[in-house]
Structure 1
Amino acid sequence: MSLGPPEVILAADLGAGSIRAAAIGFDGRTHAIARRALAIDEPAPGWAEADPDVWWQALCQTMSQVLAGVTPRAIAITAMTRSQVFLDRAGRSLRPAIIWRDTRAAAEAAACARWLPIENPATAVNPFHTLARVAWLHHHEPATFDALGAVLEPKDALNLRLTGVTAADGVTAARFDDLAPAAGAPAWLSDSLSRLALPRRMPWQAVGTVTATEAPFDGLRGLPVFGGAMDTWAGAVGAGAVAPGLAYDVAGTSEAVGLITAGGARVNGLVPLPWTETAFQLGGPTQAGGDAARWAFELLRLSGALSDAVERAGRIPPTRHLPVFLPYLAGERAPVWRTDVGGQLSGLTRAHGPAEVMFAVLEGVAGAVDDIVRTAEAAGTTAEAVHICGGGARSDAWCQLKADVLGLPVVRPREVETGLVGSAAAAAVGLGVYASLAEAVAAMNGPERTFLPRPEHADAFAERRAARKALKAFALAHPLGP
């Protein structure tokens, strides 16, 4: 006897280079998935832009492809963050969106920072900050600025087109909570700040229901649309990082790392955010991850595929005589937030070959994860395990190396590309299918394997951690020249 079409969450994950949509069941099963490539425009050096209307068309197309044979119960979207969509008062796009890697607003960031005395570099205004880019618009495109009705993250712009409701999620928007200008701040700063005030919904709270008339959403009218959150949140939550004491590592081109805390603690160098129904987090992105491994693979001209080289190098037994690497190849973000620090490679001898150097690079990336987790622990929460996801989680050797470097269990979920699952889990909580995010994730994407630290190598890794700490001190004390 047929039980009928499965009930699913329609989830989408928008990145700079592609969008993915999927129909995900309440057990975490992916019933259908579709992908469309996207392009980034670079109209000037340092600029990165995209057309939000293309994102909407891509969402319509990919959602159409995953609807066959399922019964949708809700929509939940995650997307890249630190990117801005500029809309008029009718919700129409005024200009291309500015993408996270764009650096045009450096001067405006410095001007904003003079009036916003924020001690924590992780929450200070930089060229990637929404406020700096709105200020850039004020100075360089005043007509567009005057027409602004809202400045939205990409996910929120798609939610607006789905529901007609303007809102931001309470996780991502919390990064604006430190923006309190000093007395005497110029009018342009106040005008720019006013554009950031939006109603907030947590990821599992409904923004509204589908009112869009374009296919396929014309056939989904009334379907609830949940707030969703930025890609780091969706990925980490989808991997199971939902309780105090659990850390996460979203292992991609760079690493996004954090520690879940019971209260809203703060530590300089890390971003504090609300996280679940009752918990918070301290964390931030690094500047190197899979990108550092790719750099080393190409520099060292290792044979075979990158994934094979990572597995081979990651399995080298650690000794105090292997080289040590600090992965500041493009400066460092959390917890350092410096662009003038450089990578360091120490302890090379003629006995070392490319595999030993690759080992040091992989270990150095793991050390950057360790640096964030240990910095977060200063707020009073001790890390008990690290939940890992993203492309870097596919490597058994690198997962084991991270467990050894951090001295913590590294938990890999069944599905390592967790952004879609995390979004779907939030919607499932909002629908009342599960009572909490923890319950939802346990049912939808439980652990596949846990990598335990190897006690026989603990002393060697402790010595090597001390060596990286010394290299970090040297790098911070000797900034790169102009």
Structure 2
Amino acid sequence: MAIVIGVDIGTTSTKVVAFDQNGQAQASANHGYPLIQTQPDMAEEEPETIFDAVCLGLREVVSQIDASEVNGISFSAAMHSVIVMDAQNQPLTRVLTWADNRGAKFAEQLRDTPQGRVLFAHTGVPIHPMSPLIKLMWLNHAMPAVMAQAAHVIGIKDYVWFRLFGEYVQDYSLANATGLFDLKTQDWFPQALALAGVSTDQLPRLVAPTYHQTGMQVDLGLPKATPVFIGASDGVLSNLGVAAQKPGTVALTIGTSAAIRTVVEKPVVEPDGKLFTYYLAPDRYVVGGPVNNGGVVWQWAQDTFLPKGDLPALEQLITPVKAGADGLLFLPYLGGERAPLWDADARGSFIGLTKQTTDATMARAVLEGLCFNLKAVLEMVSAVAGQPTVIHATGGFARSQLWKQMLCDILNVPIKLPDSFESSALGAAVIAMQALGMISSLDDVQQMVGSTTTLTPGPNAAEYQRLWPIWQGMNAQLAGTYQALADFQRQ
């Protein structure tokens, strides 16, 4: 048996999965780590803790299989992270994750300017505090002494790679997500670097996702000759891992956050700056919208006003409530929002509360609000890349029959759900499989995703179509109030 191991360095955990040549998982491990949030808008992690999780996961998986059958390892990683390193290759900062919003005022000052529009046109990255470009602008302002010592500015996968091989490299896909990379030249963009206050000498060397090395400096129970591939970002690899790698198909992921993405053959930059465009492979780019408020919002509902139990256990509570939650609307902006609003100050709302509102009504409204927000992103993606014929969805939400069907009804598009939830890890493995000659094309992933469940819109779809313009109107009405409210909360 030929094995390739996919390593997915995520926001809250690292998942390691060993796949055979048919894309079937043979072993897996998952190690989590805490998000550090001791200040408003802060979202950091310890780089060494993440590196330990990667190593623990790899050792655990290797112990479950025959190490001699491992043909290679390949990486996926969350986008938009920043670590500042000194000349002795020691971290001067923790990992600033995509969720760190402390650079919000710099994004606001830049977003609607001619300079901001030029940056977006070249980089394909919306002007938002998630972007390493904005994070570096903030770091130069808030921590000038730290930036004065900066010998290297990297992301979390670059840190892991350096610990394994002693070199700083970054794949085109993750580089594309920094806001510092020019889609047109496939190189660092000088105007963005000047704004961020960094030079090419401080940034990793750019490489293709198929770039690989041998001779790891850490013993993980594998032969030294095992090739390790740099891989790509979790977003584009998730498309690949659910076989949504061709134009016309859309990938939807709901994890802690959420995203909707589709593949185009040439870079397409959405004119209003509200969608990203990221490199996947030659002649394949992923256009989409990332959403801050995914499963984390449902977790908030469980922690705040619902009885204990997971979503499948709570379906008996929610199911009797009619579609539309008796007219109770929910705007799910508990952590600011990227797509569709791109407003770090956005705040959540229940609208339509009455004396008849119950916990069950509110719970259904939360799920519907999450789905309506994704519909808003889907409409933006469709305007650029065309209407999808099918959506390939993955994530923990798929364990709930109620949520799956609700999403299908609200989006009003058929949804396919693969059995495997580890789409980014599989996508990483497929990149390595093609490079190793185990498969002839990335399109061979179509045979790897296993059996799928297909849902079609049901009777509730018509009710949600009636409610959709009301939800949109409420969303638009409140959009202008968020900054003042956020300022009051900070004070």
TM-score, normalising length from structure 1?
0.85
Partners of 1:116 and 1:181 within 8 A in 2:
no
Change (3 A) 1:347 1:25: same
Partners of 2:17 and 2:26 within 8 A in 1:
yes
Partners of 2:289 and 2:381 within 8 A in 1:
no
- Larger mean CA deviation between 148-157 and 51-60 belongs to 51-60
Q: Show the counterpart of 1:85.
A: 83
| 74, 77, 98: which one aligns with 1:76 | 74
1: CA distance, partners of 2:40 / 2:330: 31
Q: Show the counterpart of 1:366.
A: 371
2: CA distance, partners of 1:188 / 1:281: 27
1: CA distance, partners of 2:109 / 2:358: 48
Matches within 5 A, 1:302-451: 302=307, 304-310=309-315, 312-313=317-318, 316-318=321-323, 321-440=326-445, 442-451=446-455
- Larger mean CA deviation between 9-18 and 70-79 belongs to 9-18
Q: Unaligned regions of 5+ residues in structure 2, if any?
A: 183-187
Partners of 1:118 and 1:124 within 8 A in 2:
no
2: CA distance, partners of 1:35 / 1:382: 36
Q: Show the counterpart of 2:99.
A: 101
| 149, 156, 162: which one aligns with 1:154 | 156
Partners of 2:165 and 2:217 within 8 A in 1:
no
1: CA distance, partners of 2:324 / 2:146: 59
Whether 1:258 aligns to 2:261 is: yes
- 1:280 partner amino acid: Y
SS at match of 1:332: coil
Partners of 1:297 and 1:309 within 8 A in 2:
no
Partners of 1:19 and 1:36 within 8 A in 2:
yes
Whether 1:296 aligns to 2:294 is: no
Change (3 A) 1:311 1:400: farther
Change (3 A) 1:78 1:324: same
Q: Show the counterpart of 1:3.
A: none
2: CA distance, partners of 1:47 / 1:380: 34
Q: Unaligned regions of 5+ residues in structure 1, if any?
A: 1-5
Q: Deviations over 1:230-251 (max 9, x none)?
A: 2223333212221111112211
Q: Show the counterpart of 2:277.
A: 272
> How far is 1:63 from its partner?
1.7
Change (3 A) 1:322 1:274: same
- 1:130 partner amino acid: P
Q: Deviations over 1:392-424 (max 9, x none)?
A: 122121111111111111111111132222211
Change (3 A) 1:280 1:321: same
| 190, 198, 207: which one aligns with 1:201 | 207
| 249, 255, 261: which one aligns with 2:252 | 249
SS at match of 1:288: coil
> How far is 1:8 from its partner?
1.0
Matches within 5 A, 1:18-33: 18-33=13-28
Q: Show the counterpart of 2:170.
A: 168
- 2:195 partner amino acid: L
2: CA distance, partners of 1:166 / 1:321: 55
- 1:189 partner amino acid: L
- 2:223 partner amino acid: L
2: CA distance, partners of 1:7 / 1:224: 13
Q: Which is richer in helix?
A: 2
Whether 1:213 aligns to 2:208 is: no
Partners of 2:5 and 2:70 within 8 A in 1:
yes
2: CA distance, partners of 1:46 / 1:332: 12
> How far is 1:15 from its partner?
3.0
2: CA distance, partners of 1:111 / 1:339: 13
Change (3 A) 1:448 1:312: farther
| 471, 474, 480: which one aligns with 2:474 | 471
Change (3 A) 1:310 1:235: farther
Matches within 5 A, 1:180-199: 189=195, 191-192=197-198, 194=200, 198-199=204-205
SS at match of 1:378: helix
1: CA distance, partners of 2:331 / 2:40: 29
Q: Show the counterpart of 2:55.
A: 60
Whether 1:226 aligns to 2:232 is: no
SS at match of 2:116: coil
Partners of 2:249 and 2:392 within 8 A in 1:
yes
2: CA distance, partners of 1:140 / 1:322: 45
Q: Deviations over 1:244-281 (max 9, x none)?
A: 11112211122122233343222221111223443322
How much is the aligned-residue C-alpha RMSD, in angstroms?
Answer: 3.2
Q: Show the counterpart of 1:14.
A: 9
Change (3 A) 1:263 1:459: same
- 1:476 partner amino acid: A
Partners of 1:394 and 1:416 within 8 A in 2:
no
> How far is 1:38 from its partner?
2.7
2: CA distance, partners of 1:329 / 1:103: 13
TM-score, normalising length from structure 2?
0.84
Change (3 A) 1:132 1:192: farther
SS at match of 1:192: coil
Change (3 A) 1:291 1:278: same
- Larger mean CA deviation between 51-60 and 172-181 belongs to 172-181
Whether 1:131 aligns to 2:133 is: yes
Change (3 A) 1:350 1:384: same
- 1:425 partner amino acid: V
Change (3 A) 1:315 1:118: farther
Partners of 1:174 and 1:274 within 8 A in 2:
yes
